[in-house]
Structure 1
Amino acid sequence: MSRIEVLEKLKAMIVENLEHTLPDEVHESDRIYEDLGIDSIMVLQLVVYMEEEFHVEVPEEDVDPAVFETMGSLITFIEELQAGQTA
């Protein structure tokens, strides 16, 4: 799955599951909290949806706040989780 596909899935999860409005265009450089207006409770909910959608397990001890800095850092985190589970 490409980074663009992951970004599109994340956008859909945020809009549909979290019922949060996003700008028409969302980029990897967009900051999750500051630019997209997602709060910490929404991030916790998003983690649950990420586990389901991307078939990954997000270990609580590995979640660094930097993971949720930008959409790009979140995509990289998902890719790393997926790679780790296939290794």
Structure 2
Amino acid sequence: MSDATILDRLKGLIENNLEVALPEDAAAGHRLYEDLNIDSIMVLQLVVYIEEEFGVAVPEEDVDPAVFQTLGSLVDFVERLRANSVA
């Protein structure tokens, strides 16, 4: 799955499940907290949605604040989770 596909699916999760209106130009560099106005409770909800959407498990020790800095860091996180679930 490409980075662009993961990014699109993540943006869909954020818009549809968290009911956050993303800017049309939302890209990998957009920061979750500062640019997209996602709060810590929403991040916890997003973890659950990521698990469901991508068929992965997010170990508690992997929930590092750095993962949730930008949409791009979240894409990288999903890629790592998917790679680990296949391995």
Give 5+ residue unaligned stretches, structure 2.
none
Secondary structure of 1:57 counterpart: coil
Partner of 2:77: 77
Deviations 1:20-74 (A, max 9, x none): 1110111111111001111111111111000000000001111110000111111
Partner of 1:41: 41
1:26 corresponds to 2:37: no
Computed over aligned residues only, the root mean square deviation of the Cα atoms, in angstroms, reads 0.7
Deviation at 1:85, TM superposition (A): 1.0
TM-score, length-scaled by structure 2? 0.96
Distance in 2, matches of 1:13 and 1:84, equals 22
Partner of 1:9: 9
Higher relative contact order at CA 8 Å, sep ≥6: structure 1 or structure 2?
Answer: 2
Q: How many residues of Structure 1 are paired with residues of Structure 2 in the alignment?
A: 87
Give 5+ residue unaligned stretches, structure 1.
none
Distance in 2, matches of 1:60 and 1:10, equals 20
Distance in 2, matches of 1:37 and 1:3, equals 23
Equivalent pairs: percent with the same residue? 61
